[in-house]
Amino acid sequence: MLTWFKQRTRVLRTSAMRLALRYALLQVGVLALALLALFWTTYRYVQLDIEASLSHELASLRELPQPLLLERVQALAAHMQGTQRLRDYVLLTADGVQIGSPIEAWPEGLPTDGRVHQIVLHFTDSALDRDEDAKLPAIASVLPDGSRLLIAQEAGHLEDMRDVLPWVALALLLLAAGLSLALGLALGRRWLGRVEEINHTTAAIMQGALGARVGLSERDDEFDVLARHLNAMLERIEQAVNGMREVSDNVAHDLRKPLSRLKTRLELALRDAGTPEDDRRVMQAAIADADELMRSFEVMLAIARLEAGSAIPAPEPFDLSPLLRRIADLYADEAEAAARPFTVEIADDLPVSGSAPLLAQAFANLLDNAMLHTAAEVAIAVRVYRDDAHAVIEVIDHGAGIPADLHARMTERFSRGDAARTLPGSGLGLALVRAVVAAHHGAMALAATPGGGLTARLRLPLREA
């Protein structure tokens, strides 16, 4: 009962209901004004019509010669007597004889100017048991022989209209108000229903059911648009949360490994009391482990910041060519030391906007990958060229390559090819490259090198001159 009542009052508190109430009020007001205007104009026209008709009849009666007029007035008055009377006729002859309708006395206040005036007439009619005053439109005139003629219009239907119209208006107004309120109530309930749906969903999500989505109707109305947007937002959030969960799983996994290695190393050293030399070696190895952990950590942080869109707060214009050349030269020297074929081909003048240190790191990561994941004699080529409005950076190796279906997966965090599991590295390299490139509005792709091997290709938009 209480909930039912609450449900009702909730409908009353909806914005739809409030809107409907306001509209009902406005509607009733406007309708009342309209009816009033209509009533007034109709009344006025009817009156004008009556005046014209009275003047016309008076004029035509005046035309008649005296004896005929007398008969005619008597006939008209008699005709009107029995049935529903429409008009009253009174003729007061010069010698004071009054014939025609049963008016008590000639109304002295009525000017005999042939114009219509409103005048109070007193009727006494014993036959109809009539004894009343009535204010009627009347017209009077003095005839050439000194007699006076009066024609008055009985109110009849006009009176009825004046009586009935207010009731009709009231009924109409009530109907309009009722309809508006009913509409508001219906709308309110419907809106409440749709909002309730959204509330249920958000409540479910707050309880932890991240997969919950707002149901859609088939109407494709504004609620559906809202629901779709909400669902899209929830999708995005769920992805982010899942991504985060995945990352923390991976972090737990990939950071736990070097951490446990570090711990084991120290525990073993503690147990087997070695020479100070041994201890030093263990300590150095432990520091190296810690450094590797820190590095992974920094890279993860960098990726997270890039993906949150906050890492390049102040992009700066610079030329990609000398930056890449400087790094490529360092790697070329290292390749030379290992007798590895290494070719560098970098176009001049590649103006970009962004973070030089981050792009340098991305490029170095690609080179690191090529160097670490191929045998020492495998040829590596660096090709950087301009392609329309983009700079294209290619690091091409002719090694074993990776299966094409793994290309997309390789850029995920901590993703490592099976062959690479035993090699050093956090598996974050390509994920960082992808994040850096994305933050520069570029794209990264892995492809098979024709004839075997892997090609990593970055496309970066050039800065417009």
Partner 1 sequence: MRILVVEDDAQAAEFLRRGLVESGHVVDVAGDGKLGLSMALDVDYDVLIVDRMLPGRDGLSLIRMLRADARHTPVLVLSALGQVDQRIEGLRAGGDDYLVKPYAFSELLARIEVLARRVRPGGEAVVSTLLRVADLELDLEHHRVTRAGRRIQLQPRELRLLEYLMRRPGRVVTRTMLLEQVWDMHFDPQTNVVDSQISRLRAKIDRDFDPPLLHTLRGFGYRLGAESC
d(Cα 313, Cα 329) in Å, to the nearest integer? Answer: 29
The residue type found at 200 is H
d(Cα 213, Cα 237) in Å, to the nearest integer? Answer: 12
454 within 8 A of 448, measured Cβ to Cβ: yes
Q: Would you count residue 305 as binding partner 1 (CB under 8 A)?
A: yes
d(Cα 70, Cα 104) in Å, to the nearest integer? Answer: 19
66 within 8 A of 146, measured Cβ to Cβ: no
Q: Which is nearer to partner 1, 302 or 431 (CB)?
A: 302
Residue from 261, 295, 383, 409 in contact with partner 1 (CB under 8 A): 295
Q: Would you count residue 203 as binding partner 1 (CB under 8 A)?
A: no
Q: Which is nearer to partner 1, 136 or 366 (CB)?
A: 366
CB of 367 to partner 1, least distance (A): 7
d(Cα 311, Cα 432) in Å, to the nearest integer? Answer: 12
CB of 265 to partner 1, least distance (A): 15
CB of 352 to partner 1, least distance (A): 16
CB of 213 to partner 1, least distance (A): 36
d(Cα 22, Cα 29) in Å, to the nearest integer? Answer: 11
Q: Would you count residue 192 as binding partner 1 (CB under 8 A)?
A: no
Residue from 118, 242, 284, 343 in contact with partner 1 (CB under 8 A): 284
Using the contact rule CB under 8 A, the part of the chain among 167-175, 193-201, 244-252, 307-315 near partner 1 is: 307-315
- The angle subtended at Cα 320 by Cα 328 and Cα 454, nearest 5°, is 50
Q: Would you count residue 429 as binding partner 1 (CB under 8 A)?
A: yes
Q: Would you count residue 276 as binding partner 1 (CB under 8 A)?
A: no
Radius of gyration of the chain (CA): 51
CB of 270 to partner 1, least distance (A): 21
The two most distant CA atoms of the chain are separated, in Å, by 161
- Interacting positions 365-424 with partner 1 (CB under 8 A): 365, 367-368, 371-372, 424
Residue from 76, 103, 327, 435 in contact with partner 1 (CB under 8 A): 327
Q: Which is nearer to partner 1, 63 or 277 (CB)?
A: 277
Contact residues for 262 (Cβ-Cβ < 8 A; gap 6+): 286, 289, 290, 293
Structure tokens at 168: 């009709």
User: How many residues lie near partner 1 (CB under 8 A)?
Assistant: 37
417 within 8 A of 372, measured Cβ to Cβ: no
Q: Which is nearer to partner 1, 278 or 329 (CB)?
A: 329
d(Cα 274, Cα 286) in Å, to the nearest integer? Answer: 16
- Cα 126 vs. chain centroid, distance in angstroms? 77
Q: Would you count residue 298 as binding partner 1 (CB under 8 A)?
A: yes
Q: Would you count residue 331 as binding partner 1 (CB under 8 A)?
A: yes
Q: Would you count residue 215 as binding partner 1 (CB under 8 A)?
A: no
Q: Which is nearer to partner 1, 143 or 328 (CB)?
A: 328
Residue from 145, 329, 377, 387 in contact with partner 1 (CB under 8 A): 329
Residue 391 has what DSSP assignment?
A: E
CB of 279 to partner 1, least distance (A): 14
Residue from 69, 302, 352, 433 in contact with partner 1 (CB under 8 A): 302
With CA atoms as reference, report the closest residue to 157 among 79, 86, 102.
86
* Site map 346..365 versus partner 1, x via CB under 8 A: ---------xxxx-xx--xx
Q: 435: buried, middle or exposed (CB in 10 Å: 19+, 13-18, 0-12)?
A: buried
Q: Report the side by side order of strands in the sheet with 98-100.
A: 98-100, 87-92, 148-153, 130-142, 113-125
Binding site for partner 1 (CB under 8 A): 284, 287-288, 290, 294-295, 298, 301-302, 305, 311-314, 326-327, 329-331, 333-334, 337, 355-358, 360-361, 364-365, 367-368, 371-372, 424-425, 429
